[in-house]
Amino acid sequence: MSIKSLSPGRGVSARDRAERRLAIRMTAPSLILMALVAAVPIGYALWLSLNQYSVRTAGLSRFVGLENYITALASQEWWAAFGQTFLFAALSVSLELVLGTAMALLLNLAFKGRALLRTVVLLPYAIVTVVSAITWQTMFQPNLGLVTNVLSALGLPGGDVVWLGEHGYAMAVIVLADVWKTTPFAALIILAGLQVISAETYEAAELDGASKWQTFVHITLPLLRPAIVLAAIFRTMDALRVFDLPFVLTRGANGTESMSMLAYTQLRENRLVGEGSALSILTFLTVMVVSVVYIRFAGGNIREVAKEEQ
């Protein structure tokens, strides 16, 4: 990072120009591909969402302006899906951050078995999300699952509940499956943040007579903030587009339908191309607004990273 110019002195500008041209040629293929396969479809989705399509005759359509959006925004389904998605995101991300921080502190300790622990916590992360859904389905099977069995054996409530058949319980299973699979991701991001805090900082705190708890609250946590915020951004963006878990666990039943699922259902199962497209655009806008808010208010470090790139 220290060397700003590769060839100081003569010929800087000619060399610079050649370098800039090369840079454009090297990034162009990726950018063009992403524009073609991301920007063009989203633009097309906007167009589709402004039309109404005949369910019976393929290709028959008429321009209806914002009607699909009005229908969607006036529908109870959209706001239910909107609410459930945010509820899911809030629950899963906050659990993942708390557990992830604890896990990171654990992985940051030098002890026998640390490598094993790191491997073990990484396993759920690599698993296919659909499989993680099936795994938790087997855990919560009425009368047969491990969790339901243990609850019954201990005489606790929940043993005789059809977990995926009731809203609150089903949401709990979905959140749990997500926490199981993605806490390692949060933990590793936060661990990377822990590892750059210098030992001197802790020594200074110890010299000042700070207790372990004071050190954690007043030194570790503030210095970890950028890493935690980063993990929060990644996890929130991911949670807001949740689809696989409710799809496999409940097929969206019992009020667990997410925004992405609602758009999918209207499009694929009900063949409502216009309304499905409007819903997918609404999902897209919701996620974008949240990411802008996050980066604007919490993500100081993201902007610094971006500046550093220049």
Q: Using CB under 8 A, which residues numbered 51 to 90 contact other proteins?
A: none
Query: How near is the Cβ of 224 to other proteins at its closest, in Å?
Result: 10
Rounded-to-integer distance, Cα 92 and Cα 86, Å: 10
Please state the closest distance from residue 308 (CB atom) to other proteins, in A: 7
Contacting range for other proteins; rule: CB under 8 A; set: 63-71, 75-83, 167-175, 226-234: 226-234
Q: CB 250 → other proteins: shortest distance, Å?
A: 8
Which range touches other proteins (CB under 8 A), out of 67-75, 86-94, 166-174, 186-194? 186-194
Angstrom distance (rounded) from CA 33 to CA 13: 30
Q: Nearest to residue 174, comparing CAs of 100, 263, 84, 104?
A: 84
Measured from the CB of residue 42, what is the shortest distance to other proteins in angstroms? 6
Closest CA to 71 of 54, 87, 55, 50: 50
Binds other proteins by CB under 8 A, chosen from 91, 97, 171, 248: 248
Q: Which of 68, 92, 148, 182 binds other proteins (CB under 8 A)?
A: 148
Which two three-digit tokens encode residue 94?
């906050």
Q: Per CB under 8 A, which region of 64-72, 87-95, 166-174, 240-248 contacts other proteins? A: 240-248
Give CA–CA dist 25/29, Å, rounded.
Answer: 7
Question: Are 278 and 73 a contacting pair, CB within 8 Å?
Answer: no
CA 104 to each of CA 186, 223, 268: distance values in angstroms, whole numbers, following the listed order: 8, 14, 41
Report the interhelical angle of 114-126 vs 76-107 (nearest 10°).
Answer: 160
Interface region with other proteins, contact rule CB under 8 A, candidates 13-21, 69-77, 89-97, 167-175: 13-21
* Of the candidate residues 72, 97, 173, 191, the single one contacting other proteins (CB under 8 A): 191
Which tokens hold the place of 69?
Answer: 């959006």
Contact call for residue 230 and other proteins (CB under 8 A): yes
Instruction: Tell whether residue 109 is a contact of other proteins (CB under 8 A).
Output: yes
Please tell me whether residue 288 binds other proteins under the rule CB under 8 A.
Answer: yes
51 phi and psi, to 5 degrees?
A: -120, 160
